[in-house]
Amino acid sequence: MRRLAAFVMSGPAQAVAVVVLTAVGGVLFPPIALLSAAAVALVVLRHGLNQGLIVAGWSALVLAVLAGLATGTPSAAVAGLLYAAIQWLPTIVVALVLRQTASWRNVMTGLTLFAVAGVIGVHLWVPDITEKWLDVLQRSVSGLLQRAGMSPMEVSAAIERAAHYATGVFAMSFVLSVALSLMLARAWQAQLYNPGGFRDEYTSWRLSYWLAGVAVLLVALVLLMQNDMLIELAMVVLTPFLLQAIGLIHGVVRQTGISVGWLVGMYVLLVLAPPQMGSLLAAVGVADSFTDLRGRFGRGA
């Protein structure tokens, strides 16, 4: 990864090459798209907004041309531009905020509030959003689920459940993908110019107590009302606290010198039981914002 970051920093043409190639790879395997956005963010973090926009603009143009040539239709070129905008513009914005403020609290708060506004806006703009998602999911994933061995009745039930929370899942995924791309870019920047800097930043994350209070309020309202939009909002607001908790645990392992097996176990459980482990970690992150758990562990070390 350090070599890839160094190649991105070796010149605009090299950066464009990495951004385009990883964006194309992201079409086939979505996680690779994180590398594409991270490369753009690295340019912004190191060289500023203008250079980041130049790299993103040329990359978008190349991507549009490739899409047009691959399909022979102008609409595909437009789709390539839209794909580029969706992938890179949010990351450029948060990278600029981090460059100017050096505050992950500001970055994550702004990103979360933007996603919250998106969820509310979608529900206000499309009152029957669940029915819309139901139609989309039936056309896009029902066949895949049936080929995976699920019966038609099971597929129908699963799609109906997913449709109620699809907007929130999309918004939560947006927060995660943008945050992970920026974290990767910051880690690359630290590897090249400030070894150990990102580790120190990430393990000291502590989001504001008022955002933690909003998370607690939303969870309480969900338990009382079981409203779809409230559930989606809670999912979005808890997402940055999940990332905070992971950084907290890394920091505690580093502070106390306990076995890295705790980290391995955490990641294994996140893979095997993501909803349960994710919820537990988010709760830990919220508690940390109120009580400064890492400070307590540090004093006890």
The tens digit of pLDDT for each residue in 121-155 reads: 999 998 888 888 888 888 877 777 777 777 778 77
CB count, 10 Å around CB of 180? 16
- Read off the pLDDT of residues 260-301 as tens digits, 9 standing for 90 and up: 888 999 999 999 999 899 999 999 999 999 987 777 665 544
Structure tokens, 205? 């994350």
- C-alpha triplet 160, 163, 166: angle, nearest 5°: 150
Query: What pLDDT score was predicted for residue 300?
Result: 46
- The DSSP symbol for 31 reads G
Chain centre distance of CA 286:
18
Query: What pLDDT score was predicted for residue 83?
Result: 81
Query: What pLDDT score was predicted for residue 167?
Result: 93
For 188, the enclosing helix (H) or strand (E) is helix 152-193
Query: What pLDDT score was predicted for residue 98?
Result: 96
Low-confidence ranges of the chain (pLDDT < 70): 296-301
Nearest to 289 by CA among 210, 203, 234: 210
Chain centre distance of CA 289:
20
Query: What pLDDT score was predicted for residue 298?
Result: 57
- Cα torsion angle, 112, 116, 119, 122, sign: negative
From CA 132, how far away is CA 138, in angstroms rounded? 10
Q: DSSP letters along the chain, please? A: -HHHHHHHHT-HHHHHHHHHHHHHHHHHSGGGHHHHHHHHHHHHHHH-HHHHHHHHHHHHHHHHHHHHHHH--HHHHHHHHHHHHHHHHHHHHHHHHHHHH--HHHHHHHHHHHHHHHHHHHHHH-TTHHHHHHHHHHHHTHHHHHHTT--HHHHHHHHHHHHHHHHHHHHHHHHHHHHHHHHHHHHHHHHHHSTTHHHHHHHT----HHHHHHHHHHHHHHHHH--HHHHHHHHHHHHHHHHHHHHHHHHHHHHH---THHHHHHHHHHHHSHHHHHHHHHHHHHHHHHH-HHHHHHHH-
Chain centre distance of CA 162:
20
Domain ranges of the chain: 1-102
Nearest to 226 by CA among 282, 137, 154, 164: 164
